[in-house]
Structure 1
């Protein structure tokens, strides 16, 4: 569920981006609505509201949520300040690669890989399975970053569509594949060990 909460600002960004630019009156002030720059403003505002509400409710944000919020403020702010969409195009690749680096780094720092820290309370798996699963997340985030970068600078007319639906689609496919992989090992771990005969 948490992964999909992170998509709320992105979906709002997409909706506003697709609108034909128009001026709207809000509390006596005129605002442009529609197009990339107003969509970027909505992305920033929605991110602050969503993560602010989560912070108030949970009294904390996860590190990944902090990273996403900071990247949104940084790359979105640079996009608006310099009136250049190039900064926003780099947001998804950089965030994905930082996640990949964090998962990879957990193989060398700390006593547990990241995926075990997130899911270890819910299931028990052999250590080699945790390591393979963690590396799968590394590969997934590296691939997502590269795919976002390629589409953003090669297919400029479709990069916003891909940023929203491509990212969501890749995440859903990966989570289904992870579920299938885990179900094999959970089934094995649920099988009681056979007792030696006397």
Structure 2
């Protein structure tokens, strides 16, 4: 599939065919794409938790779903996905990398960073997984883990404190679902979000 087609086809899929497993080799391929994402200083401060067993996926939803979402259609559809990938950023990998001689920020001061590139780079790695899923004929959805669920998620899967889950991705074969009402807002055209030479021009 051409990249342009994968970009056009990409959308968040919220319902999956639970009867169709995803080949583990395909998941490995998608995670291989993730490692080609850009990263500041080639720090590569990302790690991915892959959940494919029924038990692990059930544990994920139990840990991360607020009680008021227990019976929603969103959760009903999302929990059918045979694969969950949780991308984690690693801030210290960046602070350590930029304290090396060729960078020279020996104080490891986080204030030197204009934005948290550890999160941004991990997000870009996640987007490569999402695009790769389209190329493989799969559906995928990136969504957030509620802050109130962070401790339960970490405890359920032994996630070290220095790693931050920036979200999670469900992956699987698409089943019929209802488009998000948010899509009624319409997609902003490039001309409405682009400023040439000066903001507002």
Question: TM-score, normalising length from structure 2?
Answer: 0.26
| Greater percentage in helix | 1
| Greater percentage in strand | 2
